Amino acid sequence: MKFKIVGDSCTDFTPADLRKEYFVSVPLTIDVDGHEIVDDATFDQADFLMRVAAFQGCPKSACPAPETYMKSYDGAEEVYVVTLSSHLSGSCNSAELAKKMYQEEHPEVKIHVFDSKSASCGQLLIAHLIEEYALKGLPFSEIVTRVTAFLNGMQTTFVLESLETLRKNGRLTGVKAMVACALNIKPYMKAIDGVIAQAGQARGMRKALDKMIDYIGEVGENLSERVAYVAHCNCYERAKRVEEQLKARYHFKDTLVIDTKGISSLYANDGGIIVAF
């Protein structure tokens, strides 16, 4: 095989993606109150959300071992790896270690690991861009350069029903003010070089989503030439409303709504919306 695009399982590949031989998903695992869940085709979102809701503690995730990544590199001349932000997981470091070990035995194989500085639909956006360039036959080095430039300019923003999982896991380093749940204040968040920070807030989920959409217009450039992906955790209608507003207001070149898999569902929680563009 000429190339492979390997994503850790926070890359929310669609079923159509995974029917293509060059896309490979490497699963992380999640522990919910002693019950281990593998983030692969067996993941049951409804059961997962039920277990998380019943658990008073904080679910934990574990990144793939380097050996697992190494197996995913087999059989290709060029391997492009997309991982969730290195500030959220050790997945990127594991993939890099696997690259070093693999190339000691297979020095002819070209491998590049992209720290997405994002998650979920942000990773998928990167993976699809790699696919576009690789199918056009662009050289490995040019693909790496182009995709790196894209991900450095990519924006990720989101609104969650609850920030508890991120807070308990220590993922809210950039957030200085967390407001009272009793007031139904919902922060809308952003990723700055892969670190989560608060962009603003509004009262209620609908207003927070509207504010997030305003924010996209403020920080985005040439949006009619860009693609926007919307990921949702168990709230398809909410995601479609966001997608429709993005198309109506900013005329994105293309949009896609996707459902979160295991790791993305862990971070987004029930009702969460993530937008990457």
Whole-number pLDDT of residue 187 = 83
- Token output for 256: 């896609």
The C-alpha atoms of residue 15 and residue 19 are separated, in whole angstroms, by: 7
Residues 92, 194, single domain; the answer is: no
Q: Is 97 exposed, middle or buried (0-12, 13-18, 19+ CB in 10 A)?
A: middle
Residues 71, 177, single domain; the answer is: no
Asked if residue 247 belongs to a domain, the reply is yes
Whole-number pLDDT of residue 198 = 84
Number of domains in the chain: 2
Q: How far is CA 186 from CA 163, 194, 256, in A?
A: 9, 21, 24
Range of the domain at 91: 3-28+63-153
Average pLDDT over residues 217-236: 96
Residues 134, 182, single domain; the answer is: no
Query: Which of these three, 132, 153, 174, is where a domain ends?
Result: 153
Whole-number pLDDT of residue 167 = 63
Average pLDDT over residues 5-25: 98
Whole-number pLDDT of residue 238 = 98
Whole-number pLDDT of residue 168 = 63
The C-alpha atoms of residue 239 and residue 121 are separated, in whole angstroms, by: 12
Query: Which of these three, 125, 153, 181, is where a domain ends?
Result: 153
Residues 251, 143, single domain; the answer is: no
Residues 89, 210, single domain; the answer is: no
| pTM of this structure | 0.92
The C-alpha atoms of residue 264 and residue 258 are separated, in whole angstroms, by: 11
- Dihedral of CA atoms 127, 132, 137, 141 in degrees, nearest 10, equals -40
Residues 149, 199, single domain; the answer is: no
- Token output for 273: 């919306």
Summarised one tens digit per residue, pLDDT across range 234-256 is: 999 999 999 999 999 999 999 99
Asked if residue 44 belongs to a domain, the reply is no
Residues 132, 18, single domain; the answer is: yes
Q: How far apart are the first and last CA of the chain?
A: 30
Asked if residue 171 belongs to a domain, the reply is yes
Asked if residue 211 belongs to a domain, the reply is yes
Where residue 259 sits, what CATH number does that domain have? 3.30.1180.10
Whole-number pLDDT of residue 201 = 85
Whole-number pLDDT of residue 6 = 98
The C-alpha atoms of residue 10 and residue 29 are separated, in whole angstroms, by: 11
Residues 79, 9, single domain; the answer is: yes
Residues 147, 203, single domain; the answer is: no
Question: Residue 182 pLDDT > 80, yes or no?
Answer: no
Question: Residue 175 pLDDT > 60, yes or no?
Answer: no
Percent of the chain at pLDDT > 70 equals: 92
17 band by pLDDT with thresholds 50, 70 and 90 = very high
Residues 165, 268, single domain; the answer is: yes
Average pLDDT over residues 220-246: 97
Question: Residue 115 pLDDT > 80, yes or no?
Answer: yes
Residues 108, 142, single domain; the answer is: yes
Summarised one tens digit per residue, pLDDT across range 204-213 is: 899 999 999 9
- When the pLDDT of each residue in the chain is averaged and rounded to a whole number, the result is 92
Print the SS3 string covering 153-198: HCCEEEECCCCHHHHHCCCCCECCCCCCHHHCEEEEEEEECCEEEE
- Token output for 63: 């990144």
Question: Residue 180 pLDDT > 60, yes or no?
Answer: no
Whole-number pLDDT of residue 174 = 47
Summarised one tens digit per residue, pLDDT across range 39-72 is: 999 999 999 999 999 998 889 999 999 999 999 9
